[in-house]
Chain A
């Protein structure tokens, strides 16, 4: 990572502090390496007890689509697939999910809402440093717990890959610690949620942080959040091939990081993060994956190359009546 940024510095060996923070975690990571049999233990506890064994959160991306595929075909679970659309999902993403749930024959809820649009506009208009993706994830995790509670589903399955699990013990029930490198970002987000929403009564009950989401969820209905990718040794090369073949999955035309999220809002989020912090939460995740030996530095750099232009940004922003100039 570049040293020009205030929160990142390189040590003598050229390893940045984010990577170093990760080093000590790697120690017990080896001991606590998750095996597929660990997943089976968890599934065995919940399988066949309720109407649905699990709810799979679908985005239409490769990770969540393959998660859905594994849960249905490899573990024979009774699944409710759940997709939310805040108005910025692409048609291709929604088609990917529709295809998958049809072929796998699983129950499916698509929740489309413009509830979040005013909040997103506010962030962009006030030039707040709050990260759109953070706000969005707070919203959808709260939503996910809500739906899981509504249908009494004990397991929430996300398509998070190894670097995206912000928890050590593979479940979010015990998630307390933020990584230091996320601190600045989450502080900005919390600051926005606490201060900027006072004139918007519709967000009165909106959680102020991910911790709050988890705290509320715990009171409401205990659901465990897991991802099969934490337990399976298969890399994206393998499962992308499978879902292309079995589910007719199509890779998005444009995504960031490359071959990953294609939510339209994500592009703006990335643009803003780089403007405000010099990096994005994807950079943080990638650093961890490099140190963990999951991907190579070159791969990460390739994936994190900015590959979208102002035209794309403005097309998205126009949905919120905002425009970007290219003066920056």
Chain B
């Protein structure tokens, strides 16, 4: 049983394939077509997934697509419920129209890869919910979904148990935390859908001084439900998402590429506070309603690792699972699993304990890519490579680290990463000025051996997908200054020996040499580019930046200091 899950046409197109209930491949289209946040039909990702799964296209049993109501696919309505003599969850019985076929997508699938089989449309938030709960290690959990701009459902609270997902409370567009966050992000002069992380980082530099103003924008009830005052928003203009009223309320917006006033920082801080407040209230409501100690999160809002940490700190939830592709890319995985577990009623047998589901490169491909640029390289045994890379990191060099399978989701999790020492704050400047060219205030994230994480950070849960921002333990702040953000937290990724043995070994070698099990990990890309996918792209970035060395598999190249 092979199910192809798709996400596309909005932003962050992606494809995945699950074979007999196990995720075998998943990737975002942007990594192949090299268009950041590409919303194109993910034809490259689909080709990769099918070939990675070792099947042919005609062995795809179902294509599962997450529904985007505003796309207005619906012209011909075919009730194909009769095709599925299976038991549905309670939700399905209540709203059978979700299975309505849409005219356009099947046509696209036929045109793009001659697919003539069944296409299932999964309600958007059910896809998000399945993307987190069905691949979580929990038998039952509270589920919280909050996502972006222009969604139909924007917040959902529900409960997952076994093969069932029951979303009980939903808030609909235009009330949306994602909309609020993105609108203020554009107000602060960053791009919607990609600049939210920048807003989050800026927030740490401000004071929550704009609460009175924000109370006019958003009204949050004790149960975490909310309404936005629409007069402050205007979605009609493409990049600007706020109205004149918001300018009257908060003052002039920051122009792109200008300096940051304290006012901008305070607005970001207040926004972050308000979002956290709302999410914590929703979480508390979910905890009280469902009584589970497990929490599953998905939707673009939960890429906010600072807010995720606050939820963990300020509610009674003991365990948390966040889909690494929390945004719409991950909804492709959810659509596939919702089909497999909920619609087809199969038992769950997969836990997404890592995100390495993309393509990988063979030695031959790496060698050819190096030769194509006439680069001199060395090939080392694994242990030697780890020793050399560690030595370079200690010597304050920046190391491109291209290993194994590409990560799914927006974060580089140590397979397409740039590594550097966390022990000297000068490294943030070096990374920024020589390679990344990001806003000066954005922090760099640490990787840490999972079992040593508590020595450095006040972890309340593992953070395999870099979606939590625990406080750095006081005495460690000066030991690993390069990853300690101004608010005293770090966007931590815990590295598991089982799921990324090579990266774990690198941390181990580093620990043996320095006593510290923490290294900076930042995504392997240059400004405004998607994360690299193939060796050739990594080599181009290496050559086009001042990156000092590059480890591609066991191959190693470095630039020598010129006199």
- Chain A residues with CB under 8 Å of chain B are 13-14, 35-37, 40-41, 43-44, 74-76, 232-233, 235, 290-291, 293-297
* Stretch with Cβ within 8 A of A (4 or more), from B213-221, B308-316, B361-369, B415-423: B361-369
**Quick check: A233 and B51 within 8 Å, CB to CB?**
yes
**Quick check: A293 and B372 within 8 Å, CB to CB?**
yes
With contacts A35-B43, A35-B44 taken as known, whether A40 is within 8 angstroms of B57 at the C-beta atoms is: yes
Give the chain B neighbours of A75 by CB distance below 8 A: 56
Using CB atoms, name the residue of chain B closest to A35.
B47
Using CB atoms, name the residue of chain A closest to B56.
A74
Using CB atoms, name the residue of chain B closest to A235.
B364
With contacts A36-B47, A37-B43, A37-B47 taken as known, whether A293 is within 8 angstroms of B536 at the C-beta atoms is: yes
Separation of A43 and B47 alpha carbons in the complex (Å): 16
- The answer to whether the Cβ of B252 comes within 8 Å of any Cβ in the partner chain is no
Using CB atoms, name the residue of chain B closest to A26.
B372
With contacts A37-B46, A293-B536, A296-B368 taken as known, whether A44 is within 8 angstroms of B51 at the C-beta atoms is: no
Separation of A41 and B110 alpha carbons in the complex (Å): 8
**Quick check: A41 and B368 within 8 Å, CB to CB?**
no
Smallest CB–CB gap between A278 and chain B, Å? 24
Smallest CB–CB gap between B207 and chain A, Å? 49
With contacts A296-B367, A296-B371 taken as known, whether A41 is within 8 angstroms of B57 at the C-beta atoms is: no
Q: Which of B47, B114, B371 contacts A44 (CB 8 A)?
A: B114
**Quick check: A36 and B368 within 8 Å, CB to CB?**
no
Separation of A75 and B374 alpha carbons in the complex (Å): 39
Separation of A295 and B365 alpha carbons in the complex (Å): 8
Smallest CB–CB gap between B92 and chain A, Å? 31
Give the chain A neighbours of B44 by CB distance below 8 A: 35
Main secondary structure of the interface of B (DSSP, over half): helix
Separation of A40 and B59 alpha carbons in the complex (Å): 13
Give the chain B neighbours of A40 by CB distance below 8 A: 57, 113-114
Using CB atoms, name the residue of chain B closest to A233.
B51
**Quick check: B364 and A43 within 8 Å, CB to CB?**
no
- The answer to whether the Cβ of B474 comes within 8 Å of any Cβ in the partner chain is no
**Quick check: A41 and B374 within 8 Å, CB to CB?**
no
**Quick check: A291 and B372 within 8 Å, CB to CB?**
yes
- The answer to whether the Cβ of B487 comes within 8 Å of any Cβ in the partner chain is no
Smallest CB–CB gap between A38 and chain B, Å? 9
Separation of A44 and B111 alpha carbons in the complex (Å): 9
Using CB atoms, name the residue of chain A closest to B58.
A76
Main secondary structure of the interface of A (DSSP, over half): loop
With contacts A13-B374, A74-B56, A293-B368 taken as known, whether A36 is within 8 angstroms of B112 at the C-beta atoms is: no
Q: What are the 3 A-B residue pairs with the smallest beta carbon separation, nearest first? A: A44-B114, A37-B113, A40-B114
**Quick check: B114 and A36 within 8 Å, CB to CB?**
no
Give the chain A neighbours of B110 by CB distance below 8 A: 44
Give the chain B neighbours of A291 by CB distance below 8 A: 372
Give the chain A neighbours of B365 by CB distance below 8 A: 293
Smallest CB–CB gap between B557 and chain A, Å? 16
- Report which residue of B43, B44, B47, B536 has the largest number of chain A beta carbons within 10 angstroms of its beta carbon: B47
23 residue pairs from A and B, CB less than 8 Å apart: A14-B374, A35-B44, A35-B47, A36-B47, A36-B51, A36-B57, A37-B43, A37-B46, A37-B47, A40-B113, A41-B111, A41-B112, A41-B113, A43-B114, A44-B110, A75-B56, A232-B51, A290-B372, A291-B372, A293-B365, A293-B369, A296-B368, A297-B371
Smallest CB–CB gap between B59 and chain A, Å? 10
Smallest CB–CB gap between A143 and chain B, Å? 30
Smallest CB–CB gap between A82 and chain B, Å? 24
Separation of A35 and B114 alpha carbons in the complex (Å): 13
Q: Which of B32-58 contact A (CB under 8 A)?
A: 43-44, 46-47, 50-51, 56-58
Smallest CB–CB gap between A148 and chain B, Å? 22
Smallest CB–CB gap between A290 and chain B, Å? 8
Using CB atoms, name the residue of chain B closest to A291.
B372
Separation of A14 and B367 alpha carbons in the complex (Å): 18
Give the chain B neighbours of A233 by CB distance below 8 A: 51
Using CB atoms, name the residue of chain A closest to B371.
A296
Smallest CB–CB gap between B284 and chain A, Å? 47
The proximity string for B residues 4-47 relative to A, scoring 1 for CB distances below 8 Å and 0 otherwise, is 00000000000000000000000000000000000000011011
Give the chain A neighbours of B371 by CB distance below 8 A: 290, 296-297
Smallest CB–CB gap between B545 and chain A, Å? 21
**Quick check: A295 and B368 within 8 Å, CB to CB?**
yes
Using CB atoms, name the residue of chain A closest to B43.
A37
**Quick check: A296 and B112 within 8 Å, CB to CB?**
no
Q: Which of B102-155 contact A (CB under 8 A)?
A: 110-114
Separation of A297 and B369 alpha carbons in the complex (Å): 11
Using CB atoms, name the residue of chain A closest to B535.
A293
Give the chain B neighbours of A37 by CB distance below 8 A: 43, 46-47, 57, 112-114
Using CB atoms, name the residue of chain B closest to A13.
B374
Using CB atoms, name the residue of chain A closest to B44.
A35
